[in-house]
Each structure stands twice: as C-alpha cells, then as structure tokens.
Structure 1
Amino acid sequence: MNIEHWSLRLRVFLFFAFLAAAGIGAVCAGLYFGFHRLAIPQALNGFVFAGAISSFAILGVTVWIWLMFDENVAKPIQRLSGGMLARAHANVEDELDASTARYLGDLAPAARAVTQNLSATRNQLAETVAQETTRLVEEKEKLSALCADIPLGVALVSGAHKLAFYNGAAAELLGADHAPGLDHSVFDYLRDAPILSAYRRLCAGEGGDGHVIALTIATRHGAHTVSARLRLTHAPSEGDATPPYVLTLDDVTDDLATHVTREALLRRVVNRLRPSVAMLKTALDARASDDTLRHDARLDGAMMSELNTLIAEFHDIDATYENAKSDWWPMGTVRGADLCDALTARLEDDGIALSADVPDPLDLTLDAVQIISLIDHIAQHLTRDGAKALSLLITPEDTGAMIALGWSGEPLAVDRLDGWMRSEIDVGLANMTGRAILDLHATELWPEQGRGSRAVLKLPIRDAHRRHMTAQGRRTVAYDFDLLAKTPPKDVMDAPLSDLTYVVFDTETTGLLPSQGDEICQIAALRVVNNKIIHGEALDRLVNPGRDIPAASTAVHHITNAMVKDAPAIGVVGKQLHSFSRGAVLVAHNAPFDLEFLRRHEADIGAKFTNPVLDTVLLSAVVFGQSQDHTLDAICDRLGVRIAPEARHTAMGDTVATADVFIKMVRMAQERGINTFGEMLVQMRKHKRLLQDANDHL
C-alpha cells in the first residue's frame, strides 16, 4: 500500500475516522470496566444504553467536524494546490481566487503572493530572451520554408526507423489518406525490405565515405515507385550502433510508366517490322534467283498485300506515337496567374502591352518556356500586322483549360497562321517550330471571330485543374530531433508519459445514443509528440452517418445533411483514424462515448481500436480532485485555455482544446509523482465512479 499517493481528503477522512473509533472505544472501555467494578448485574442495560448514546454522540460530532473540515480546509487546500500547479506548469496567468480558502488564514495570501512573484519572474525571463527567440524563430521559419519547397522528398529517420523530420514533398509522397506522422515507423509508408537491406549494408561499412546507397522502393499506399538515396548521418560507433539516416525520395512512377510505354511501342515496331522485312527479302531474293518469278502475279500480290499491311500497321503505330508523344515530354505544373505575369513581362520587354486575366485559380500542366515563347512569337506577328489592345484570358474547360489571345483588328487567316507555326522559335532547343510545340503538347491552335470588332486565337491545354487553397497556403515541414535519441518503450505500462506519442481526437454525432441508431458525422484528430501539438499532422473529416441529422444536433455542431451527403462512410474515415493513430495513445474527453461509436463499426473499418486510452475527465479528477467540475469548459477555465465560440462543439475546435488541457494536466500529474502510463492508469481507476475506464482491454 503506497500511502504517499493517498489524497489529502482521504487522509483527513481516515484521521477523523480514527478519532471517532478511538473516542467510541475509550467510552466503551470505560463503561465496561465501570460496570465490572460496580458488580451490579441489573445495571447492565443502563451501561449499554449510556454507551450507545455516547457512541452516537461522538460519531455525530466527529462526522460534523469532519464535514466542516473537509468543506472549509481539505477541499480549499486541494483547489489551492491545483491552482498553484496550474500556474507553475500550465502557464495560467489568472490570479488565484483567495475566497475559496478564506478559512485558511495566511495560506491563501501567501499562495497568491508566490504565484504573482512566479508570474512576474516568468515575464521578466520572457522579456530577456524575447529578442534572441525572435531571431531564432525567424531563422527557423526561413529554413522550414526552404526545406518545405525542395521538390525532392526528404525524411530524417531514427535508428529505430521512426520519422523525426519530413518536408512537404515527402508528406505528399508518403501520405495516402492523411499526412505522415512524427514518431511513426517509416515502414508504415514504404516497403521495409529494401530499406532494411540498405541500412544493414551501410552499417556494415558499404557505401563509401559518403555512407550512401541508392535504392528503389514501393510505397505501401497508392502503388507509387520511389527512387531513394539512403545516407547515414554519421558512421556507426561503439556507443551508437544504429545511427539515424536521411532518405531522399523522388517519385519515378510516371517516369517508369512512360519508359514502359515507349519500350512497348518500340517492341511493337521491331516485332512487326522483322517478319515483314524477312518475308519481302525472301520474295525479292527468290525473284532475283529465279527468272520465272519475275512476272509471277501471285508473288506480286503477296508482296503487295504484305506491304499494304505493313503500311497500315505503321499508320496505327504513328498515330499511337503522336498521341503519346506529349506524355513523354517533361511538363511542369504552372499557376495560370504566373503564366499571365510572365507573358505580360515578356511582351512588355518587346514593347507590346497585354492585359491578362485568370478568373479561376488554375494549375496548368505544360512546358512554360515553350508556351510563353509561342504566344510571344504570335503576338509579335500580330502587332506587326496592326493588331491593337492585346488581351489574354485563361478559363477552365472540362479537364483542361482554354487560352484565348484576343486583339482588335482583322481576323487571322489560317494559312498565315500556318506560316507562322512553321517558323523556328527560340526555346533553347534546335529546330523547334511552333508546330512542334503544339505537337509536343498534343494540342492545336485556331483563329475565331470574337465579339464586336475583336478577333481571337484559341489554344487549348489538355491538362489543368482548379487550385485548391489551403489554410496554411504552402507546404510546411514537421520535425522533432529529440526523437532521434528516443528508444521505443517495451511495455506501455512502464513507459514515461513524456515518451509516449498521443493522438487527441473528438467526434460529432447525430445524437447521444449509439445503441438507438445515432452515428458519427465528423471526426477530428491531432498528434501530440514530446508534449507538443504537431499542427501539420491533423485529420478532419466529415462522415456520412447513413441517416438524417436531427435539427437539434445541427443546432449544436452546425453540421447539416447537405454537408455530409457526399462524405465517405465511417468505414473509410474510421480506417483513416486507425492508421493515423497507429502506435499512439488515444486521448479524448469522455473517451468511452467516442470509442463506443467507433467500436460498433470495427467490422466496416477492418481494424480494432486497441490503443491505450487516456481520458481528460479522469485526468482532471486525478489532478484537481473528484469534487471539482470536469466538463471541458470547466477544465479550460481552470487552465486558462480559450475556445473561440465558433469553434466550440466542432470536432477540430474541441480537439485542439482537449490537446491543450491534456498537455498541461500531464505536466501537473508528473509534478505529483505520476510519471508512467501505468501509474496514471492506477490513479484514473480510483475515479471510476465518474466515468467508465476505456482500458479494459489492457
């Protein structure tokens, strides 16, 4: 029995229980010895009655004093200690409420003075390091922006094969349903055999002085093929036999597909050419050696038939080549607005004014240098022919886009345009004409009559899509270099709380009764690594509940039937959450409620949620005492966490708030000597009167 972990209120209760028992025992002992000293048997009933009255009196007075002491001393001390811990470890700035400890004499003013002094000292320290911190943050943001926009994927992996850094390109390449996660195994995203083989060879001394091995890996999701370079950060040593390594990743799936297509076309040419050439050569040799065959109609017919078949086959091969030729040329993705800006600047240098517009944000797949040079070439010819007020408009059209070059003046004749297309255009390659540029882009160019006195030249781009704006606006990096030295715990029960990775999640539902058909309509989750929220690693999905959302529920979380109409079912989103939380401890406010909805659909999800679970309701009871209010709003108020009104009762808004209070309460629990997951579980189970434990499977 570990008395050190008993709460103050329990100890006070046991103290008064002991006083009551001792008082009753003393009275009973005195009456017992008095009765035997008196030696009058008829007085027994009187002694028993006196003992009962005295015992009830002592018990009543003791209980009354204990209740008063508990209400006015023990509970206030507990609230005061919780408030001081919150201000010491959760950076709460609000002053302590001294009225809760008004019967504790100078303790409350002293506690307030200590917390005020702590706050002042913390502010002075913050001011002292502010300038240096600002400089470091600016440098970090510049480095992050640089790493995020590197076109190759870069991942830094620990010797235990856990991700400690990845840039934006790596996130796009590795992520299937969601972004990859720090402290996730790299083998969750890439096949393990090539990486393990290359890593063992490098650790054994292969790879030269650079400790680098090139390899080809397949992703586990999306069927991509990746060309990679694996490089150790430093050579293995006696103290570090499994050093971290850097993976540089390049998606070569499309390149390989293009290569396969070209090889197939080449084989088709050779396989079709070889027998026909052999047959024609045999026929010609026979004719040359035998004069009787020189005017043989059957031989002439056979040769002509084979020649016609060969010509038809080559027409088909040529058509296939022309259709696929544009896929073989290296194209890039260019923003429509950037293309307009570049054209405007290019023509401005040539003394030509151009007004350009892209009504919708578009990404175009093309060779920007070639298309800009082509339009510049045409604009110069039009200007020399007297065209005025040139304009450029790029609009979406089916799966592509339409570039329309307009001007005031006479329409352009087709034969004149063809003449311009036969002219050579300087794009850095020899013999590149306008016609060749059109062929490489598998497109055409034609003139039309525009509105009023304007003429138009139209150039379709076959591959384009609307640009989707994100909240971040650009790709970012995620990293935590402390993970490089982290050793995965063998048993979660013995794992320090600070070493665990957490996934904090919340759901919004059609109602509160899953047993009566209520379902999830939104899921949100965040990852917490090394007691820090990784904001770039988030999951926020609407879910089609398969039933109508009642108006009363919509009034709470603002999710309508129209919003979830085209959303995926719980089987899809639940699988994404399961993958997102692989290897992590699940954290939720009132976790049994959310998990009941998920576990009812484990057959559809195709996986079971067997993760360890921490519940912020029970964690609050451990930190602040069971008598406190443990709603999310009450905990946020105590810890100084603010939830925007529009974010409350949204899955992501409540998830962020839950993550914030969870991190602060874990620090407070560690201050109380609760350091491992197993110790936290023991303490939470003491408050099972409040909430069912979600760790029955452990």
Structure 2
Amino acid sequence: MKLEHWSLRLRVFLFFAFLAVVAISGEAVGLYLGFTRMDDPAALGGFVFAGVIAGFATLAVVAWVWFLFDEHVARPIQRLAGALLARAHADVEEALDAKTARYLGDLAPAAQAVTANLAATRNKLAETVAQETTRLVEEKQKLTALSAEMPHGVVLLSGLHKIAFYNGAAAELLSADHPPGLDHSIFDLLRARPILSAYARLCAGEGGDGHVLPLTVATVHGAEVLSARMRLMHAPDEGDISPPYVLTLDDVTADLALHAERERLLSRLFDRLRPSLTALRTALAARMEENGQDDPRLDTALTSEIERLTDEVAALDAEYEAHKSDWWPMAQVRASELCDALTAQLAEEDIALAADTTDPMALTLDAVQIVALLAHIVRRLSAEGARAFSFLISRDEDAGAMLALGWSGEPLSVDLLENWLREPLDVGLADMSGRAILRVHGTEAWPEFGRGSRAVLKLPIREARRLRRSFGDGRRTATYDFDLLSRTPPKELMDSPLSDLAYVVFDTETTGLLPSQGDEICQIAALRVVNGKVVETESLDQLVNPGRAIPPSATAVHHITNEMVKDAPKIDVVGRQLHSFARGAVLVAHNAPFDLEFLRRHEAGIGAKFTNPVLDTVLLSAIVFGQSEEHTLDAISTRLGVKIPPEARHTAMGDTIATAEVFIKLLRMAEEKGIRTFGDALTEMRKHKRLLQDANERTDA
C-alpha cells in the first residue's frame, strides 16, 4: 500500500512510534557502550535498571506528546480537511467552526477565509446563472408540460437502448409489467426483437430522409400490444454508429380486440345467414316447380326458416348494440372531476347540487355527453318543482360504477323520463339525444324511490377502476436526463465509474430491531438517483402489513399504527415492487445490512433475490470523514448541511430523502479523494468493516 494512501493520523502515530524506537534504541546503545568501558561486571544490573527506567520514561514522554499532537493537531487537521471537502464538493454553506482547529495557528482563520470567499463566489455565480437561465427554465417547463400531456407515449432512448426521457402517457402504458425508469433498458418493458430489427433497419438507411419506421411491439408479458413509430435523432455517422432514437407509442390492444370482435360478428352473421338463405332459395325454387300448387310442407319450411333468420338477425343486432359503445371514442375521467364539472355547469344556472364520490375512481366515458345529459335532467326536474339535488358516484358490483342523481320531490315516471331522453342535446354533434348518449355508452337510466321523500335516478357506467394511491399532485409529468444519451457502453461493475451507475436509495420502518425474533417491516420507501440527481418522479412509498402487532414502543418512533397497516399489502407484494423498482441499480441505505436482513428473510415469498450491489452511507462517511467520527444519519446530515424536518425523521420516506441527499454529497467527496469506481469504493469500505458487516456478502440459507 502506498504511503500517501495512509491516513494522516496513522502516519503521525507511526512517526512517533519510530521516534520512540529510535530514542530507546539510542539509550540502550549508549548504556551498553558505557558498560563495556567500565570493565566491571557487577555494574551490569545497574546499567540494565537505568536502561529500563530510561526506556519507560522515554516511551511515556513520546506517547504523551503523540496523544497531544493527535488530539490537537492530527485529528483537527483531519476534521478541517473533511469540512473543507464538504464545502468544496457538497455545497455546505455553514461557516467553519474555528474551535475545531484552535491549536493550528493561522490555518483555521485561513480556511475560514477561503471557504467564505468560496461561498460568496458560488453565490454570485449562482445568482448570475439564475438570471441568465430564467427564460430557459420557463421554456423547459412549458415543453415538459406539453410533452407530459401528449396523448401518445413518447420515450427517448440512447443507442444502448436505455431510457433518457419518458412522458406521462408512456409511464401509464409501460407500467403494467414494470414501472419505467431513467437508465432502465427498454427491453425490461417491451419485447426486444421488433425494436432491434427496426433500429437496425433505420441505421442501415431505411425510413427515408425522415429516418422513421412503424412497428408493432408487445409488452414483455404480452398484456398490451402497442403501435409504435421509431425515429432516429440523427443519421448514423462514423463517430456515432449507435444514434439515439425516439419511440412514439399508442396502445392498440383494445382496438385490436374490438376489430377482432367485429370480425367475429361479421363471420357469425355470414355463417348463420348462409344456410338460411340457401334453405330459403331451395324452398322457393321447389315452390315454383309446383306451378303455384300449395304444399303445406313448403309453407312450413319457409315459415320456419324466416323465423329462424329473424331470430338470428335479432340476436346479432342485440350483440352489436351491446358492443357498439366500445367503438365510441371514450376517455378515462376521474369521478371527482365529473362531480366538479356537473356542479359547475348547474351553478351557472343557480341550481345547487351536492356532489360526492365514495372512492377515488376513473370512469371510462364521454364526459361532455354524460354531464350534458345529467344537467338536462336536473333542469327538467327543477322545472317540475324538485329541489335539494344530490349526485353520488359509487362502486357497483354489477356495473363498474353507479351514478345516482337524487332530489326531494315527486318520483320521476318512466314515460316522462323517456320523453326527456328523446330531446336533442348540445354536445357538439348533430342529432344527439339523451337516448343516443345512453346507447353509445351501452347503458340505461331508470328512476327509483329513495329514502324518505327523496327520489333517485340511476345510471350505471360499465368501465371504472379504483385509482391507486398517488403521492404527487396527480398531474402527469415528463421525466428526463438527456446526459444519459452520451453514455458509453457499461463496463464490468468493479471497473464502472461511480458517476455512471444508477442507484436506488431505500429505507424501512419495522416493528422492532430483531428480525430473527419475529420483527417485520411495516413501511418501505425508495428513491432513484441517476447522474448524481434524485429522480423526483420515480419513487416508492408503501405501508406494509407486518402480519403481527406493532408494539407501542415502535409506534412511538415511526408513528405507524396497527390501524394504518391492517389493509396494507404483505411484504411479498411490496418486496416484489421494490425488487422491480431497483432492477439494474446499486442499492444504497444507511446501515444497509439491517434493512437487507429483513428483506432477504422473505425472498422465497417475494419470488426474487436481492443480489444488487450495495453501498452504505455509514461506510462512505467513514471513508470521507474518518472512522473515529460519529456516523449516525443525524451526525452526517449535520456535517453536510442536510436538513431533516423533525416530523420527517424516522419515517421511511423522510429518512430516504435525507439518505439520498447525504449519499450524493458523500459520493462527490469520495471521488475527490480518488475513489472513482465501484471497486475502489468497495475496497475502501471493507477497510472499515468493523463498523458494519459487508452487505455485498451474503449467505443463503
């Protein structure tokens, strides 16, 4: 090992040890030479005794001086170096504590002046850059908003087929198998063969000047079929034989199913009509051969075939009507948005409506038509004297959702309702009545008696789904990092630069600290870090049903109660989500062996093993700041200027956010100390293995 790789404190200790050895050796040699000159063997005991006393005294003095030097010079220099490194590479703005290096003379004030000047220069530069980039940021936000709301999925990929951009529609299309993520391979989500074939053809010059090819591709598990267009970002050249490309995606699974259903109906129509028509033609030909003479058998055959043909046509017509609504252009609308739209439209006419929904749901319908129909009925009811209108959307076992319009007053008769349904409505199309709207939605509306003096009109919607819990504001966003387009082919993990790796920072909350004695996970949170930045739109935050009671002592720490987790999924389900979320990434945690032990105990139920490489912020902190410092999350955060809100501490997502910020800063500081690759980091972490076990080494039971 090279001398410059040794820590300062170790080198100081070795220097004083060498000094002690030299001094004691010099005393021993001097006493020995003195004894040989005396020619008195009896004096040997005295010389030995003097040598021992002198040796211990020398050793004590050297040790005392070393301790003072280590305490007031070496250790403060190490702390000062860590603080300077943090301010240079981790954007820490707090001033240096002069007391840390009060025995180092002018070094501490000089370091304070340097860091203060660095902070002032950085602030001026940041202010200048902010002023110059305001317009660009606004344009970027507009572009992001536009691309996020595009109805088609858009994915930008590098020549290595890694994702560098995806919009909200693409995230919804591709999340059935695995959620998409920056730097993930597109082949985790879509079948590889059609994409590789189209890409090779485009790079070979097909697609014309626009470098565009259409293709059809299925998701990995074949659940959806997507119509796609592939476009090269630029023509391949000698310097870039694998150019980036764009995939525009549209889900045609339902369209193909509807087309197949229509083909099936037509096929059934022809198959059923063909023998009936043949039989009719034969019966008619036989009747003509009888020269007008009546034959009861022919009449019976004709009548039977006509009745059979009528029944077949009626059955096919009913099936056609049942499926016709699937061919009408529909969209998914939130139940709450439908309530808001109806309330707002009636408010313009001074009609009050109390609208609500029992569950967060998305309904598949034409919102303009349904709102127009319901508003039309409310107006007619209001003219008839009805009052106190209410509107409720609820889940329905038979239909997907049930729309219930209620009012105080006389119940609605079927005949009057039918008259109102025949009236034309203004929905942007000609000849659209309420009856036509119900027909295209494949549904019906009927009146019922309500509770007390209230009456109800019910209207079922066939397709509705419960919305999953969302941790954002509900808006679709575009996620991107265009630097990923210039990535070089990946190297072996140990030789891969730390800056080129994707990371998943995670944390767990548990029922206790002893997994071997039955403690379990009750919450998991995770964030992705790509290119040294947290990807804010890619996160996992999920309560877990631990299958056992959460002790009050644990609830006092993380505030998770038994009531909160009683309907949460088990660790088998959430563990699969985390495993999918972390595919192809390095796992990062604070005290990672603790969290991984809980997960690895459930690998059989999860159906996957957590074999990801692991980095630990405890050991990274020891590399940067030295093993003698405190390495709790709070202590590291304080040194690096990372603020943890008190209400977020000891929550899975709060600790994950703090760990991610700490990790990014530690990574930059470690790279400044010459730790460039994952192999370098692993080697240095293992020097501090007495702090923690190595999470990269595992034993399978």
Q: Give the structure-2-normalised TM-score.
A: 0.91
CA distance in 2, matches of 1:27, 1:347: 104
Q: CA 1:635 to 1:348, structure 2 compared with 1: closer, same or farther past 3 Å?
A: closer
**Are residues 1:250 and 2:247 paired?**
no
Partner of 2:678: 677
Q: CA 1:338 to 1:521, structure 2 compared with 1: closer, same or farther past 3 Å?
A: closer
Deviation at 1:592, TM superposition (A): 1.0
CA distance in 2, matches of 1:534, 1:499: 15
Q: State the secondary structure of the residue aligned to 1:524.
A: strand
Partner of 1:647: 648
Q: CA 1:96 to 1:382, structure 2 compared with 1: closer, same or farther past 3 Å?
A: closer
Partner of 1:18: 18
Partner of 2:223: 223
CA distance in 1, matches of 2:380, 2:674: 81
Q: Where do 1:14-53 residues align within 5 Å?
A: 14-53=14-53
Deviation at 1:380, TM superposition (A): 7.2
Partner of 1:355: 352
Q: Where do 1:590-605 residues align within 5 Å?
A: 590-605=591-606
**Are residues 1:87 and 2:84 paired?**
no
Question: Quick one: which amino acid aligns to residue 354 of structure 1?
Answer: I
CA distance in 1, matches of 2:580, 2:489: 19
Partner of 1:331: 330
Partner of 1:365: 364
CA distance in 2, matches of 1:533, 1:332: 33
1:75-97 deviation line (CA, Å, top 9, x unaligned): 11111111111122212222212
1:91-129 deviation line (CA, Å, top 9, x unaligned): 222221211222212211221222222222222223333
Deviation at 1:72, TM superposition (A): 1.3
CA distance in 1, matches of 2:344, 2:104: 77
Partner of 1:318: 317
Partner of 1:395: 393
Q: State the secondary structure of the residue aligned to 1:359.
A: strand
Deviation at 1:277, TM superposition (A): 2.0
Q: Which runs of 5+ in 1 are unaligned?
A: none
Moved more, 178-187 or 246-255: 178-187
CA distance in 1, matches of 2:381, 2:424: 17
Q: State the secondary structure of the residue aligned to 1:536.
A: strand
Moved more, 539-548 or 246-255: 539-548
Q: State the secondary structure of the residue aligned to 2:539.
A: strand
Q: CA 1:550 to 1:381, structure 2 compared with 1: closer, same or farther past 3 Å?
A: closer
CA distance in 2, matches of 1:380, 1:543: 48
CA distance in 2, matches of 1:528, 1:553: 29
Query: Contact conserved, 1:90 with 1:639, CA < 8 A, in 2?
Result: yes
1:271-314 deviation line (CA, Å, top 9, x unaligned): 222222223323332343356995153x5545544444444444
Question: Quick one: which amino acid aligns to residue 562 of structure 1?
Answer: E
CA distance in 2, matches of 1:649, 1:239: 50
Q: Give the structure-1-normalised TM-score.
A: 0.91
1:1-35 deviation line (CA, Å, top 9, x unaligned): 22222110011011111111111222222233334
CA distance in 1, matches of 2:286, 2:253: 49
CA distance in 2, matches of 1:379, 1:655: 51
Q: State the secondary structure of the residue aligned to 1:213.
A: strand
Deviation at 1:459, TM superposition (A): 4.1
* Aligned residues with identical type, % of pairs: 67
Query: Contact conserved, 1:163 with 1:186, CA < 8 A, in 2?
Result: yes
Query: Contact conserved, 2:343 with 2:354, CA < 8 A, in 1?
Result: no
Moved more, 367-376 or 227-236: 367-376
CA distance in 1, matches of 2:344, 2:10: 78
1:346-386 deviation line (CA, Å, top 9, x unaligned): 7799xx54334422376443223433454566577778x77
CA distance in 2, matches of 1:558, 1:373: 47
Q: CA 1:395 to 1:369, structure 2 compared with 1: closer, same or farther past 3 Å?
A: closer
Deviation at 1:618, TM superposition (A): 0.7
**Are residues 1:659 and 2:652 paired?**
no
Deviation at 1:202, TM superposition (A): 0.3
Q: CA 1:2 to 1:303, structure 2 compared with 1: closer, same or farther past 3 Å?
A: farther
Q: Where do 1:412-423 residues align within 5 Å?
A: 414-423=414-423
CA distance in 2, matches of 1:490, 1:182: 18
Q: CA 1:70 to 1:190, structure 2 compared with 1: closer, same or farther past 3 Å?
A: same
Q: Where do 1:563-642 residues align within 5 Å?
A: 563-642=564-643
Moved more, 286-295 or 56-65: 286-295
Q: State the secondary structure of the residue aligned to 1:99.
A: helix
Query: Contact conserved, 1:336 with 1:394, CA < 8 A, in 2?
Result: no
Q: Where do 1:384-533 residues align within 5 Å?
A: 393-396=391-394, 398=396, 399-402=400-403, 404=405, 414-425=414-425, 427-429=427-429, 431-446=431-446, 459-464=459-464, 470-533=471-534
Deviation at 1:333, TM superposition (A): 2.6
Q: State the secondary structure of the residue aligned to 1:226.
A: strand
1:368-412 deviation line (CA, Å, top 9, x unaligned): 3433454566577778x776879573533523132538698x776
Moved more, 432-441 or 255-264: 432-441
Query: Contact conserved, 1:346 with 1:376, CA < 8 A, in 2?
Result: yes
CA distance in 2, matches of 1:429, 1:456: 28
Q: CA 1:466 to 1:223, structure 2 compared with 1: closer, same or farther past 3 Å?
A: closer
Q: CA 1:460 to 1:17, structure 2 compared with 1: closer, same or farther past 3 Å?
A: same
**Are residues 1:187 and 2:152 paired?**
no
Question: Quick one: which amino acid aligns to residue 318 of structure 1?
Answer: D
CA distance in 2, matches of 1:685, 1:417: 78
CA distance in 2, matches of 1:79, 1:58: 30
CA distance in 2, matches of 1:508, 1:122: 38
Moved more, 173-182 or 478-487: 173-182
Deviation at 1:420, TM superposition (A): 4.5
Deviation at 1:36, TM superposition (A): 3.6
Q: CA 1:392 to 1:517, structure 2 compared with 1: closer, same or farther past 3 Å?
A: closer
